[in-house]
Amino acid sequence: MDDMVNPTAIEAIDLVKDYGEGDTAVHALRGVNVRFEQGRFTAIMGPSGSGKSTLMHTLAGLDSATSGRIIFDGADITTMNDNQLTLLRRHRIGFIFQSFNLLPMFSAEQNILMPLTLAGEKPDRRWFDQLVRTLGLKERLDHRPNELSGGQQQRVAIARALITKPSLVFADEPTGNLDSVSSAEVLSFLKQSVKELGQTIIMVTHDAVAASYADRAIVFADGRIVADVPHPNAEQMNELLMAERERATRAAVAPSIA
Ligand code: ADP
C-alpha cells in the first residue's frame, strides 16, 4: 500500500536555473527531473549551495526558471504571470519557515486562521478542528506566540500552512530553530498531517534525523539529484551526505581526476 504510485502533486521536467550569464553564471539547477506524489512527505537534503532552496523557490513560483517545465495541478507554472502565481501561492501552496513567522499580537487561533482572514474567506470549522486535534493545539488556541514553546509555535505555523487545504506544502528547515525534543514532536506532527490528512509536504533539511521522518529523501549535489531514497533512515542519510561531502572535497582539490 505504502509503495503504491499516487497521482502527481508537482513535477519538474528538465528544470534549469542559472544565476547570471556567461563565464560567471552559477548553475544552480542543471536539468532536474523529479516528480512528487500527492499525500507523500519528501525530504530534500544536500550540502549548502547544492540547489535545494533554488528548487523549492522555483517549484513555488517564487523564482523563475531559466528553462524547463513545472507541472502543478496539471498546469505549467513556468508560463504563468505574476498575478496567476500569486493566486496559486495564496490558495494552493502552504509554507512553513524555520523562524515560524507568527504574528505576535494575535492568538494561536487567529494566527492559524490568518490566511483565510486576509483572503476574506470563512473557515471550514471541521477542518480547523481536525487540524487543531491532529497538531495537539486544542488547549493552546487562546495563547499568543510568546506564551508558547518553540515546538508549539511551529505546530501553530503548520496548522496555518494547512488551513487553506493546499495541494502542496513547502517546509524550509522547519526544525532549524528547535531543540531535539521539540524537533521530534514537530516532525511527528508533520508526518501525521501527511498520513491522516493526506497532505503533500516537501521539506528542505540539513538534518538526517529529520529526513528519516519522510517517506522519501532526495539528495542534491551541485545542482543535480544524486540520490533518491525511499523510506530513508538517519544512518543511511548521514553516510550518503558524508560520501557526497568527500566527493565534493576531492573534486575541489583535484578537478581533473574527480
Ligand atoms: P542550498 O539551498 O542547497 O544551500 P541554493 O539553492 O541556495 O543552495 O544555491 C545554489 C547555488 O546558487 C549556490 O551556488 C548559490 O550561491 C547560488 N545562488 C542562489 N541564489 C542566488 C542568487 N539570488 N544570485 C546568485 N546566485 C545565487
Tell me which residue has its CA closest to atom 12 in ligand 1: 28
Condensed to tens digits (0 to 9), the pLDDT of residues 160-195 reads 999 999 989 999 999 998 899 989 988 998 998 899
Residue 29 has a pLDDT of 98
pTM (predicted TM-score) = 0.92
CA-to-CA distance for 174 and 152, rounded, in angstroms?
12
Domain residues of the chain, as ranges?
A: 2-257
Tell me which residue has its CA closest to atom 23 in ligand 1: 19
CATH superfamily to which 2-257 belongs: P-loop containing nucleotide triphosphate hydrolases (3.40.50.300)
CA-to-CA distance for 44 and 41, rounded, in angstroms?
10
Question: In Å, how far are 100, 205, 221, 225 from 187, measured between CA atoms?
Answer: 14, 11, 24, 24
What percent of the chain clears pLDDT 90, i.e. is strictly above it?
81
230 Cβ inside 6 Å of ligand 1: no
CA of 175 to the centre of ligand 1 (A): 21
Residue 244 has a pLDDT of 87
Within 8 A by CB and 6+ apart from 200, the residues are: 9, 36, 37, 38, 39, 40, 41, 167, 168, 169, 194
**Taken in order 129, 135, 138, 144, is the CA torsion positive or negative?**
negative
Please report which confidence band the pLDDT of residue 1 belongs to, taking 50, 70 and 90 as the band edges. Answer: very low
Instruction: Return the C-alpha cell found at 109.
Output: 487561533
**Taken in order 43, 173, 92, 74, is the CA torsion positive or negative?**
negative
Condensed to tens digits (0 to 9), the pLDDT of residues 60-112 reads 999 999 999 999 988 999 999 999 999 999 889 999 999 999 999 999 999 99
Residue 248 has a pLDDT of 81
Tell me which residue has its CA closest to atom 22 in ligand 1: 19
216 Cβ inside 6 Å of ligand 1: no
Measured from the Cα of 204, ligand 1's closest atom is: 2
51 Cβ inside 6 Å of ligand 1: yes
CA-to-CA distance for 23 and 12, rounded, in angstroms?
26
Measured from the Cα of 220, ligand 1's closest atom is: 3
| Side chain identity at residue 60, one-letter code | A
**Picking from 7-21, 186-200, 218-232, which range would have the lowest pLDDT averaged per residue?**
186-200
Q: Is 228 or 247 the better-scoring residue by pLDDT?
A: 228
Query: Which class for 185: exposed (0-12), middle (13-18), buried (19 or more C-beta within 10 A)?
Result: buried
